[in-house]
Amino acid sequence: MGRATAHGKAILAGEHFAVHGTAALALPIPSRSVTVEVDRTPGDWDVPDGVEPHLIRCLECLGEPAEGLSIRVESTLPVGSGLGGSAAFAVALVRALGDGGLDDQEVRERAHRLEVLAHGSPSGIDDAVATLGCPVFMSPIRTIEPLILSEQPRIWIAISHEPSSTLEAVSHVSELKMKDEERFSNLRTRGAELVALAHAALLSADWAGLGHVMGKNHALLAELGVSTPALDRLVSAAVEAGAYGAKITGAGCGGAVLALAPE
């Protein structure tokens, strides 16, 4: 039997624009994960509701015979909240099937193929965080730099009651780009600048500075059209309660908000 666990992720900066060639910054969520167990004998599947059709597609993509496997999937990641559940599932599945014989690069490559099934055109940062289990910086050309931090940020995540569809949100942003290329280019440039500022603040443990950048990032994503009144209220509530800053994390149009809090 193969068994593997992979954690969720929170995007600190770079949502949406990473798909269009900017850098991005993401953190793992150690307390939330997906675990996959695979037994290479035919048997029953024990998986969450709605997972089986996607699991079958993933197995077909990996060239694995679904009818010859017994599979169990457990998850503590909220579904449809932009917290990297599909990437965590992909990485855990690939590792469980690989029986520990794959290196990180092989795991990432296979998991990314499964992310394409889930999202169409993923940037790759989700499967990088799920594979490496540490903060990562993704460059504009999609090279991945694992980050070693002198101090870990104190992060809180709030889940709205609105499900988030990455495919729908990405499609919305692509439509905006097609309708107004100049406006989108301006937003993209500002987004790239915020990633650079967030990267520097994270490495120097400048939490007040990072919180300020997060606030600007949320405002930018709202301009992009991927915020909602519920997400805006969560951001405002976090700041009013004393957070350094808060923002949408992930695709938006629902899902989750990330807040950086003082001790």
Integer Cα distance of 194 and 260 in angstroms:
16
Catalytic residue, from 99, 103, 126, 127: name it: 126
The answer to whether 144 and 24 have CB atoms below 8 angstroms apart is no
The answer to whether 45 and 10 have CB atoms below 8 angstroms apart is no
- Alpha-helical (H) ranges within the chain are 51-62, 85-98, 104-119, 125-132, 166-179, 181-203, 207-224, 229-240
HSE at residue 197, side-chain half, CA atoms within 13 A, is: 17
- Is residue 126 part of the annotated active site? The answer reads yes
Place of tokens 């999202």: 119
Instruction: Strand 245-249: give its sheet, edge to edge.
Output: 155-159, 256-260, 245-249
The 3-state DSSP class for residue 99 equals coil
Could you tell me whether strands 136-138 and 24-39 are parallel, antiparallel, or unpaired per DSSP bridges?
A: antiparallel
Integer Cα distance of 10 and 139 in angstroms:
17
Catalytically active residues are: 126
